[in-house]
Amino acid sequence: MPELPEVETIARSLRSGGVGGRNDLSIPGRRVKSASVLWDRTIAQPQPVEFEKRLVGQTVGEVGRRGKFLTIHFDRDILLVHLRMSGDLRVEPDEIQLNQTHDRVLVSFEDGIRLAFNDTRKFGRMWLTDQPEKVLGNLGLEPFDPTLDAEAFHQQISRHRRQLKPLLLDQSFLAGLGNIYTDEALHLARLHPLVIASRLNFEQSSRLLQAIRQVLSEGIQRNGASIDWVYRGGEFQNVFRVYQRTGQACPVCGTFINRMVVGQRGTHYCPVCQSLEQPAAQRQEGAHG
DNA sequence: CATCAACCCTGAGAGC
DNA sequence: TGCTCTCAGGGTTGAT
């Protein structure tokens, strides 16, 4: 399931033409010849027929990412793509036969290259709009936003009397974390998924912010995680600490990893490293800068 | 404000 | 072998 690192990896490959940097398959500068929607519900906005018409003639500009959304700028509109569970984008020459069972949207460029949106479970969505804020407006800060320092993060997290796991999954709190990186970050920060956010002290929330950034950085460095049907060369799955490692040894202490359901999501954690009870010896390193 | 469940989907894996 | 059942998961929606 694509989260921030996977979406970032895809954005980079659309810009540079593949993870390896093949310029012949990058999309900026290409002009749309035609578009076809193969599964109507993939298009959230506008109507599929208008989507197809409006894209024709527009040229790709900047390709970026906001949270888990891909932002593909065109002359007049921005194409927003959310991959949800199983979405994937391919850039390939028209000659390659469309033998893919689950292609949902095709965008053909004038120079014989096309962009294909493939999505097994049909949860992915696209918006073609000149008002991207209407779609992205509720997103929280980017985890790497430079204005998000330890103080700001602690202030934010103190406002919520929710459990950490659902809070971190809430895209209006922080944009980009999904189930994998949330579990990984909580383990790295040695925090139990059910801890109430507002009860974190400064040292704990700082640790959490740092852990979030570290696991996301690791994910990006490894081109994301490749699991389920979506394989795109990522390798982060090889270094999962807790995610989908139920019953296996915690890399830190060797205890068996537990699994429970939190907010309808499978949640993996080490019962020893991430104890709900704060260790009695926990120091109060309160006097921060 | 927070929690919970249903919904959208498919295919993998279990059980029979 | 092949059928049926359960489950996973991001985000939205509506109820409590």
Catalytic one among A54, A65, A68, A241? Answer: A68
Strand C contact at CB of residue A100, distance < 7 A: no
Catalytic site includes residue A62:
no
**Separation of A149 CA and B13 C1' (Å):** 44
pLDDT in 10s for each residue of chain A, 289 residues: 788 998 999 999 999 887 666 668 899 999 999 999 999 999 999 999 999 999 999 999 999 999 999 999 999 999 999 998 889 899 999 998 876 688 999 999 999 999 999 998 899 999 999 999 989 988 999 999 999 999 999 999 999 999 999 999 999 999 999 988 999 999 999 999 999 999 999 999 999 999 999 999 999 998 777 766 565 677 787 788 888 888 889 999 999 998 888 988 889 999 999 988 754 444 343 333 2
Q: Where are the beta strands (DSSP E) in chain A?
A: 32-37, 43-45, 63-66, 69-73, 78-82, 87-93, 103-109, 113-119, 125-129, 258-262, 265-269
CATH number of A150-283: 3.90.480.20, 1.10.10.60, 1.10.8.50, 3.30.465.10?
Answer: 1.10.8.50
Amino acid (one-letter) located at A141 = L
Q: Where are the domains of chain A?
A: 4-136, 150-283
Asked if the domains at A4-136 and A150-283 fall in one CATH topology, the answer is: no
Q: Where are the beta strands (DSSP E) in A94-176?
A: 103-109, 113-119, 125-129
Specify the pTM: 0.91
Rounded-to-10 torsion of CA A267, A200, A236, A175: 90
Could you give the CA distance from residue A56 to residue A27 in angstroms, rounded to a whole number? 15
Give the CATH superfamily of A4-136. Answer: MutM-like, N-terminal (3.20.190.10)
Could you give the CA distance from residue A267 to residue A260 in angstroms, rounded to a whole number? 5
